[in-house]
Structure 1
Amino acid sequence: MTVQITKSVRKATDADVPHLAGTLAASFYTDPVMSWCYPDDARRAEILPHNFRSVIEATLSLGGIDTVTDAVGAAVWIPPGTELDEERLADQIGRTSREYAERVFTLLALMDEHHPKDKEHQYLWLLGTRPEWQSQGIGSALMRPVLEACDRDGMPAYLEATSARNRDLYLRHGFEITEVLSLSEGPPLWCMWRSPRRSPEHS
């Protein structure tokens, strides 16, 4: 069953939105950075599905969300040359986060401050798999189509890893750590950049 799912990467559709919101919420529930943003376990479980639904709805039309069979995993890319309505999304997340809005905005401001703006790139904003499907190759499969396109097109990619486990996954796929960010009394975020790989015929 794992083989079937990892080979069935596809573009997300409107019908996937509620499923993907649940998938990302489950994937990031124990994430160190999300736990810093929402230190109360019950509130984090309540807030995350709403926030991720807002993110998915805001980015779906950009064409950068890949998923798999049964929507048990998702990769949310922001393609170069696309525009996200950041003000509207921040307002939605702030209203949902309520008492934790200041923490979330601190995180988003830190990420924006250090996001590379001088070179066009694919931005992997989110990558998540439901806990029961983790460590079965789904995350790698979800990244593969865009990374292969990056190699063909000479396009770099960028992301922020929010856990050591994810950091190590990205290192295996050619990303390199460029900077480590620190939240106040919180966990690190690893800024990671991937230069396009040259194909053998162009080596």
Structure 2
Amino acid sequence: MLKPADIAPAQGIRTVGPESVDTLAAITADAFRDDPFNRWLFGGFDPMERTFANLARHIYAPNGFCQLLNEKGEDRAAAMWLMPGDSGDASLAGTLQTYWGLFASGGLGALKRGKAAGDAMAKHHPAQPHAYLFTVGVASAGRGRGLGRRLVGPVLDACDRSGTMAYLENSNPANRRFYASLGFERVDLFHPMADSPPLEPMQRLPR
């Protein structure tokens, strides 16, 4: 089963923790600014960035595997994973802080949409052990140079060596070709609420 120690170091990529929550959130929110599902869910950039920060702080930095890619002295790309066996649950205090932040910045509608999205995503997660790619994003200043592929490549290579499936939910149809080029295939399509854009669960079997 895949472990962080199985992932080979790569130039410009570093594994980070709670000290980098703000950077993880800023790059991720910038990358998802025009994402149709996240625009529907959050209703604005501020609740998006605040919620990504809380999710990084309470789940992905302490429980999972987070990396940043640095190019010419600037952090340009970010990825947040859960490895097989990692907990995707925040503490009670962390959960309350995340939902309160979403309500305070996005209102009751954003809170309802966030709860519906979280419940639907949990329902569709595969039962077998897998590496879950929650987000990979490239800041606007770094796009078009293959940084997202460079960032997730070492983890996917480790998935292959360890025989581990990888899984994600694609929230933007424009990204389907990118994920397919990495070996991900669609397994479903679902709408967390009747008026929501779809989420596309995709899995990548080890090669």
**Does the TM-score normalized on the shorter chain lie above 0.5?**
yes
Aligned with residue 91 of structure 1, among 88, 96, 99? 96
Shift of 1:87: 5.4
**Matching residue of 2:123:** 113
Superposed CA RMSD in Å reads: 1.7
5+ long unaligned stretches in structure 2: 1-9
Which one has a larger percent helix, Structure 1 or Structure 2?
1
Aligned with residue 23 of structure 1, among 24, 27, 32? 27
Of the structure 1 ranges 185-194 and 9-18, higher mean CA displacement relative to structure 2 is found in 9-18
2:46 is equivalent to residue 38 of structure 1: no
Q: 1:60 to 1:105 in 2, by over 3 A?
A: same
User: Which letter does structure 2 place at the counterpart of 1:178?
Assistant: V
Percent of aligned pairs with the same residue? 29
**Matching residue of 1:192:** 202
Alignment of 1:146-157 (within 5 A): 146-157=155-166
**How many angstroms apart in 2 are the aligned matches of 1:78 and 1:177?**
20
Aligned with residue 133 of structure 1, among 142, 154, 172? 142
The answer to whether the 8 Å contact 1:161/1:167 transfers is yes
Q: 1:90 to 1:33 in 2, by over 3 A?
A: farther
5+ long unaligned stretches in structure 1: 1-5, 198-203
Shift of 1:72: 1.7
**Matching residue of 2:168:** 159
**How many angstroms apart in 2 are the aligned matches of 1:83 and 1:169?**
27
The answer to whether the 8 Å contact 1:7/1:141 transfers is no
- Provide the aligned length of Structure 1 versus Structure 2: 187
Q: TM-score, length-normalised on structure 2?
A: 0.84
User: Which letter does structure 2 place at the counterpart of 1:185?
Assistant: D
**Larger RCO (alpha carbons 8 Å, 6+ apart):** 2
Aligned with residue 169 of structure 1, among 178, 193, 200? 178
Residues 23-79 of structure 1, C-alpha deviation per residue, up to 9 Å, x if partnerless? 11111111111111123xxxx222122211111112213351111113221110101
The answer to whether the 8 Å contact 1:11/1:63 transfers is no
**SS in structure 2 of the partner of residue 144 of structure 1:** helix
The answer to whether the 8 Å contact 1:20/1:72 transfers is no
